[in-house]
Amino acid sequence: MTGDALPSKSAFDPLAEHWYRFMSTAPQREFALRGDGICGVENALARIRPGATVLDCACGPGLLVLDLLARGYNAYGLDGSAGMIDTARRHGFPGKMSKRLFVAEWQHLPEKLRRRFDLVICSGASLHHCPGDGMVAALRGMYAVLKPGGLLFLDGQDWEVNRRNSVHYWAYPSDQTEDGRVTWLLHTHYPRYFHQAHTVEIIIMCENAQANAVQHFPVTIFPFRFRELARRLKRVGFDELETSSREGAFTFGVIAHKARGRWPGAETQG
């Protein structure tokens, strides 16, 4: 392992067009903003001024960026998958709009972007694609491109709850598209130990009058406990953590504040 923020980024390239179609549905676009209703992107947006500068640093096919632009925010998108950014440009960012999108891994944010942001969003449980050391580097990159006093919103899953409840399968409601009836199924393969890499297999089934098709996209996940995330956020320099993390919940959200001064103890081991 090299410590890259997205060690399996190539796995997302062939998934890009499918992900665009999935996230284009009204329920998924709504969920991208509201999350679990306790600590979603909307909660972070409520804390910044209208027209503020926002970076979605796990933007995928760019649909959240488009929604933020439509609401008057000065929004930009970044993803570690070139396939995702190509798909975003093709579907919603023509001409000069394409300059709002970037391909980079999170630890390289300060080198890639000169602009500084009021809010950085890292949603869709995207941080789970980082190994431990890579996560610190990723959070450091996000911290660097925030303005003093800026906010970081991120969300994740409680993998201890998933493992304890043996949640191996998760199916989304089927969607009727022009290509036929499409169903997404997530199949999680659990290794013996919590901190070992987990594999989540994304299975897409398409049924129509002519034929049925099934495609498989394995994605690597690195579980972490919420207390580990909180410790790493403070290590990088964030403070005033607000969270929806609660006992027994499958998901959580976090809003972290970039300290206007340096957080005491930043860069210490933990």
Domain boundaries, the chain: 9-158+223-258, 161-221
DSSP secondary structure code for residue 181 in this structure = E
Tens of pLDDT along 69-82? 999 999 999 999 99
**CATH T-level fold of 161-221:** Nuclear Transport Factor 2; Chain: A, (3.10.450)
**What was the pLDDT predicted at 1?**
31
**What was the pLDDT predicted at 154?**
94
- Averaged pLDDT for residues 186-213: 91
> With 90 as the cut, is the pLDDT of residue 258 above it?
yes
**Cα–Cα distance measured from residue 71 to residue 232, given in angstroms and rounded to the nearest whole number:** 32
SS3 content of the chain, % helix, strand, coil (to 5): 35, 30, 35
**CATH T-level fold of 9-158+223-258:** Rossmann fold (3.40.50)
> What SS3 state is found at 59?
coil
Tens of pLDDT along 110-122? 999 999 999 999 9
Mean pLDDT value across the chain: 86
Same fold, 9-158+223-258 and 161-221: no
